[in-house]
Structures are given as structure tokens and as C-alpha cells.
Amino acid sequence: GENVEQHPSTLSVQEGDSAVIKCTYSDSASNYFPWYKQELGKRPQLIIDIRSNVGEKKDQRIAVTLNKTAKHFSLHITETQPEDSAVYFCAASMMYNFNKFYFGSGTKLNVKP
Amino acid sequence: SQTIHQWPATLVQPVGSPLSLECTVEGTSNPNLYWYRQAAGRGLQLLFYSVGIGQISSEVPQNLSASRPQDRQFILSSKKLLLSDSGFYLCAWSVLSASISGNTIYFGEGSWLTVV
């Protein structure tokens, strides 16, 4: 089955700096990669996603890049703000088949004001 | 639009007592349904998934079970809870769709279970 690894497990940045979270996956058949943000005590919420036919996608201060050859994808947050502090999860899935989502172990991001 | 409801939000149960968590999805048909567990400060562990009524697949052996009596209803149960069953339980759904928003997974509000 698919194995998704996520690094780092914790990340502390100064407000205004950039944050990068990286994930690798093992199954080359995976073709859909969503990212979720989970605030303390709440449900994970989708923040951005990317399909395997796209190398990069951007939405305001967040962007995701995908390297299919190397089987890794990354989340980039620019101009971080204290409200970005949360746990972020990456996931891998195969579209057009049953959607079995494999999640990374999470990254706790702390943005210091 | 689609919504997912999960209850109860919190519960404290003694060891050896039964458990029933319920989840319903509205605004979609034939969703894929999931139960995840999240231990404190940990990642998301897939417990069960279902592609249709009465069809349940288990990811990890445990003393929990799941049932899907209706298309949009998913229930997580246990006959006898263990201390290790404590955690944050999340119901989720997805649908197969050509649109990217239709392929992602959406989570319910979650249920905090403390076994004492």
C-alpha cells in the first residue's frame, strides 16, 4: 500500500517568514495530493490540492509543488501570520478509483509574532 | 451543498462500556465513508471505510466495528471499550468525481472520546 512520510514534525518560524513542509509518497499510481490544516480541537480542513498532471498550484500565500519523478510534494506558506499556526497534513490518493487517502503524520507549525 | 454531521461531540466512557458514534452525510448520494482516529498530538489513522451500504473494510485489527445501515449513515461501535480507545474520532466522506473538489475527503466535526 501507499506510504506517505512528512517532514518536519514541528516547525517554528517568525511572523513574515516562509514555511515549507515536505512529503514523500511510495506508490507511483497516486495522482491526487491534498493538504489539510487542523486547528487545535477541530477537524482537518482542506486548504489546497494538486493533481499529478500539474507541477505547481498557488492560492494567495500558499502554494504546492509536486515532483512526480521523485515522488515528493511540498507545501509553501509565504508571509506567515500567527493564524497560520496549526497542524498541517499532507495526503496521497488515487482519483477515479476508490478514494483511499493516506495521510502523513502531520507538521505542527508555530508562527511566532 | 454537502454537509456531514457527527455526534456526540464529546463523551466520557468507563472501560468495558459500549460505544456508538454516528455520522450522517447530506447533499450527496453513494458517498465513500470513513472513520479515522487521532490520538492526542498524533496523525490520522484510518479505521474503516465503506463504498456502499453494508460494505465495510477494516484497516487495522481492533475491538471496534463499523456499520453502514443506510447510504449516508456510518456508525462506529464497540462492545467493550479499552483505555487505548481514547482519542479524537473523525468521520469523513468523499465521492468519485471528475472535478477535483469531488475527489477530496471532507471531515466531520469530530468526537472526543475519553475512556476512564
Q: Give percent of chain A above pLDDT 90.
A: 79
Say if A34 is an interface residue toward chain B (CB within 8 Å): yes
Element (H, E) at B102: helix B100-103
In angstroms, the separation between the Cα of residue B71 and the nearest Cα of chain A is 16
Q: Give percent of chain A above pLDDT 70.
A: 96
Contacts of A54 in chain B (CB under 8 A): none
Element (H, E) at B114: strand B111-115
Q: What confidence tier does B1 reach under pLDDT thresholds 50, 70, 90? A: confident
> Which tens digits make up the pLDDT trace of B74-112?
999 999 999 999 999 999 998 765 554 447 889 999 999
Q: How many Å separate Cα B31 from the centre of its chain?
A: 13
Question: Which residues have a Cβ under 8 Å from the Cβ of B15 and sit 6 or more positions away?
Answer: B80, B81, B82, B83, B115, B116
CA gap B65, B63 in Å, rounded: 7
Q: How many Å separate Cα B106 from the centre of its chain?
A: 12
AA identity, residue B12: V
Are A103 and B44 an interchain contact pair (Cβ–Cβ within 8 Å)?
yes
Q: What is the CA radius of gyration of chain A?
A: 14
Question: How much is the average pLDDT of A16-29?
Answer: 96
Q: Show the beta-strand stretches assigned E in chain A.
A: 4-7, 10-14, 19-25, 32-38, 45-51, 56-59, 62-67, 72-77, 86-92, 102-103, 107-112
**Phi, psi for B100 (deg, rounded to 5):** -65, -35
In angstroms, the separation between the Cα of residue B90 and the nearest Cα of chain A is 7
- C-alpha cell, B42: 498524533
Q: What pLDDT does residue A94 have?
A: 79
Contacts of B105 in chain A (CB under 8 A): 34, 91, 93, 99, 101
Of A43, A51, A105, the CB nearest to B100: A51
Q: Which residue has the higher pLDDT, A77 or A40?
A: A77
Are A99 and B96 an interchain contact pair (Cβ–Cβ within 8 Å)?
yes
Pairing of strands A86-92, A62-67: unpaired
For CA atoms B103, B111, B17, B41, give the dihedral sign: positive
Q: What confidence tier does B30 reach under pLDDT thresholds 50, 70, 90? A: confident
